[in-house]
Amino acid sequence: MFSTIHLLADATLATEAVTQAVTAEQLQTVSLTTSNVWMLVSTMLVFIMALGFACVEAGFTQAKNTVNILFKNTVDLSVGLISYAWFGFNLMYPGEFNGIFGFAGWGLTPDLSPSYAGGAYTYWTDFLFQAMFAATCATIVSGAVAERIKITSYFIFTFFLVGFIYPVLGSWHWGGGWLSQMGFYDFAGSTVVHSVGGWAALAGIIAIGARKGKYVNGKVVDKPGSSVPLAVIGVFLLWFGWFGFNGGSVLSADPQSISLVLVTTTLAAAAGGVGGWIGGYIMFKRYDLGMVLNGILAGLVGITAGADQMSPNEAILIGIVCGIVVVFSAVTMDKFKLDDCVGAVSVHLTCGIIGTLAIGVLGAKAGMDQFVTQLIGVAAYGAVAFTSSLAIFYGLKFTVGVRVSEEHESEGLDSHEHGIRGYTITFDN
């Protein structure tokens, strides 16, 4: 009798152990599936940002260059994704390396083990999510140098930016490089993505020069964009896509973290719009819609570095500061005759720096040591991104050339380089 009871007890314990093991395995599968799905949804949202950038740039630039803008933004994504697949991803995430430069080999080499990324998502999801970030970096340059850059030179530069500059610099932090080891923090890319693109855009503006007739006798000549409604649509698409840009950077489906990130992201964008409204009125004594739109983008860029570290009130503060500063940054650019068609440098570089440094001033990581570390990171990224981009642009300038002819610039790039107009609606008499 005693033996029977003992055997039954052992069997019960064994059954419970198997049940617990199965339950743990099932929970792990559910967790992987949920996080992976969220990452893929976020990837799709970041993909939508390409359309947002295309709309903003086409809306803010002249009608005669609309097709050129749309062509660049479309092919940007194609060139960016392919170059990132061939070598960019393995430059950015090389594995064990010296902290400055590493390369894991050509092409995609999938790690299909269940333990990849701690079991949070798959290798393929990781690549696709990061590839969308890389392509986003290139589009920042497009708007800044619009209406006067040779399209072939632009794509040569894009190839180097997305294929080499961005991933190598990205490896310093997100790839586990020297800045990551130092404690530098950039949650979703105020510096890694936006400032790098901003530095590249500034280099392009300097190398190419201003549009003809933009600065005359010390005055700034307005060159009205083709469509204000299109620009507004673009900004709202970017705001929408930023939920994936920042929300996906949680790298899991953790409900508390995602919720906080989406709240801080939204509040910073809203506050940025208010800041742009205030800054525009202070500077121009009018309710400037363009500055409100760039203020929203400024707030989004500013919160990106610390979206998971800030309280709602701190997010609002970052947003409103960036929204105001972006106005004065744009005006300062014009004072130095740096012709940025869409305000890309002011939005992505200026506010990317503000957001990155804010990590040391506000939020969970605030402190003098952290601020110094953030400052070192900003300086390092700026020095390499700007000098390397400037070198490439000047290399192109003195070889194949970077600027279209005066005739093409005057008459518009659409008719000369693409043979089609962006707006073809006609009315019969």
Provide the pLDDT for residue 8.
44
Two structure tokens written together for 337: 């005759």
Q: 118 CB contacts (<8 Å, ≥6 apart)? A: none
CA–CA distance, 142 with 10 (Å, rounded to integer): 70
Q: Which amino acid is at 119?
A: G
Element (H, E) at 155: helix 151-160
User: H-helix or E-strand containing 143?
Assistant: helix 123-144
pLDDT for position 30: 77
Instruction: State pTM to two decimals.
Output: 0.91
Which residues lie below 8 Å from residue 95, measured CB to CB, with a gap of 6+? 102, 104
Quote the pLDDT of residue 427: 47
Q: Which residue has the tokens 């605030």?
A: 366
pLDDT in tens, 381-422: 999 999 999 999 999 999 999 999 888 888 888 888 888 888
pLDDT at 417: 82
Other CB atoms within a 10 A radius of the CB of residue 250 amount to: 25
Q: How far is CA 324 from CA 99, 259, 299, 319, in A?
A: 37, 27, 10, 9
Instruction: For helices 312-335 and 351-358, give the axis angle rounded to 10 degrees.
Output: 150
pLDDT, position 68: 93
* pLDDT for res 429: 47
Instruction: Report which residue type is found at 139.
Output: T
- Amino acid identity of 84? Y
**For position 350, what pLDDT does the model report?**
97
pLDDT tens per residue, the chain (429 residues)? 545 555 445 555 555 554 455 576 677 777 788 899 999 999 999 999 999 999 999 999 999 999 999 999 999 888 889 999 999 999 999 988 999 999 989 989 888 887 888 888 899 999 999 999 998 888 899 999 999 999 999 999 999 999 999 999 999 999 999 999 999 999 999 999 999 999 999 999 999 999 998 999 888 888 888 899 999 999 999 999 999 999 999 999 899 999 999 999 999 999 999 999 999 999 999 999 999 999 999 999 999 999 999 999 999 999 999 999 999 999 999 999 999 999 999 999 999 999 999 999 999 999 999 999 999 999 999 999 999 999 999 999 999 999 998 888 888 888 888 888 888 765 454
Cβ-count burial 179-203 (b if 16+ within 10 Å, e if not): bbebebbbbbbbbbbbbbbbbbbbb
As its CATH architecture, domain 42-418 has Orthogonal Bundle (1.10)
Chain centroid, CA 3 distance in Å: 68
Half-sphere exposure of 62 (CA within 13 A, CB side): 16
